[in-house]
Amino acid sequence: MTDLRIQIGNIEFKNPIFTASGTFGYGNDVPDFVDVSKLGGIFTKSITLHPREGNPPPRIVETPSGMINSIGLANVGVDHYMREMVPSYSTIGTKIIMNIAGSTLDEYAEIIRKMESISSDIVGYEINISCPNVKKGGMEFGVDRSLTAELTKILRSLTERLLIVKLSPNVTDIAAIATAAEECGADAVSAINTVVGMSINPTTWKSNIYTVFGGLSGPALKPIGLAAVQKIFHSVKIPIIGIGGITGSLDVIEYFLAGASAVQLGTVNFQDPSTGERMIDELETYCKDVSIDSISSLVGKVKN
Ligand SMILES: Cc1cc2nc3c(=O)[nH]c(=O)nc-3n(C[C@H](O)[C@H](O)[C@H](O)COP(=O)(O)O)c2cc1C
């Protein structure tokens, strides 16, 4: 049998298939036909200090090879999340990583302080410093090496749980930002968040997104995500979680070869939220076919 287990920091995951933030709710509200216990883990949608309604509609539009969204971090806020969602995780059967977003360093820190003040089954935090759809915060941190460093350092001092910094592709040098996160104590980085995009209605001459720009996700992102992972792989030693355009198990293999130790599935969940569980069997078959005992042995093995 192939060993699909992977390790990030001091946490072992039963397999490397995770769901991406914003595409699988809070993990406790998925349809009955999805067996979340098969997944390696679930990354929640971004949670902020205060509840957010997000951006006005239209905030999602389809494009030929993906979608553009400008949800604007709509979420219930950390207090509601702690009260209503966190207790359900004790029986969920997989690991939960809470994704957090903020407009200031203090906001990110306050969320972690609140979370650390309660007992919970959350194994870690993914720090969204890469949201292109909010006016303040988010990507402001992710495009700045020293802000990324400062934020990571502060959050590292507040928790011993996994700290995973989620990187933006909308930068000149993603590896430099990853290095800053690693140097300041991140256990892993995840890459990539969406790429800034736009879609125009040729009849009305208006943008199809209220906020004009949005974040492009889906198959169009895979080559960008792979390049990002490969660049980061040459710069850091911590694990990389590959994200962007994954729809099938062979996409996962490509991400591993580029340097990812695990992956997240995003947009594909809107087509079929059970894609992840199906992929797990397919990955086992692939590894058997190429005579590999452990999926981790594929990490970074692209032949350049
Ligand atoms: C509708 C939608 C909402 C998203 N919301 C978040 C979010 O709240 N926080 C976050 O870090 N990423 C968010 N993302 C980005 C995804 O987690 C992921 O990085 C991106 O979609 C690329 O992966 P994909 O091509 O598999 O979708 C969102 C993506 C989509 C499509």
For 147-168, the pLDDT digits (tens) are 999 999 999 999 999 999 999 9
Model's pTM, two decimal places?
0.98
20 C-beta closer than 6 A to ligand 1: yes
pLDDT band at residue 136 using 50, 70 and 90 as cut-offs: low
In the numeric block, the tokens 């509200």 are attached to 29
In a 3-state reduction of DSSP, which class is residue 201? Answer: coil
Considering the domain boundaries, does residue 207 fall inside one? no
Q: 195: how many CB neighbours lie within 10 A of its CB? A: 20
Q: Which of 21, 139, 263 to mutate to test the pocket of ligand 1 (most atoms within 8 A of CB)?
A: 21
Q: Would 44 be classed as within a structural domain?
A: yes
184 is a catalytic site residue: no
Cα 270 to ligand 1 centroid, rounded to whole Å? 11
The answer to whether position 149 is within a domain reads: yes
Find, among 61, 46, 76, 99, the residue nearest to 215 by Cα: 61
Q: Residue range 288-297: average pLDDT?
A: 96
Residue 62 lies in a domain: no
The pLDDT of residue 135 is above 70: no
Q: What is the pLDDT of residue 130?
A: 82
* 213 CA from centroid of ligand 1 (Å): 15
Residue closest by Cα to atom 5 of ligand 1: 22
140 pLDDT exceeds 80? no
Domain containing 223: what range? Answer: 6-56+72-199+218-298
Q: Does the residue 209 lie in any domain?
A: no
- Is the CB of 103 within 6 Å of ligand 1? no
| Per-residue pLDDT tens over the stretch 213-244 | 999 999 999 999 999 999 999 999 999 999 99
| pLDDT for the residue 137 | 62
Note whether residue 211 is domain-resident: no
Give the CATH number for residue 110.
3.20.20.70
Structure tokens at 208: 């199809």
CA-based nearest residue to 61, from 219, 268, 221, 213: 213
Catalytic, out of 131, 149, 238, 258: 131
Q: Please give the tally of structural domains in the chain.
A: 1
Residue 96 maps to a domain:
yes
Share of the chain above pLDDT 90, in %: 93
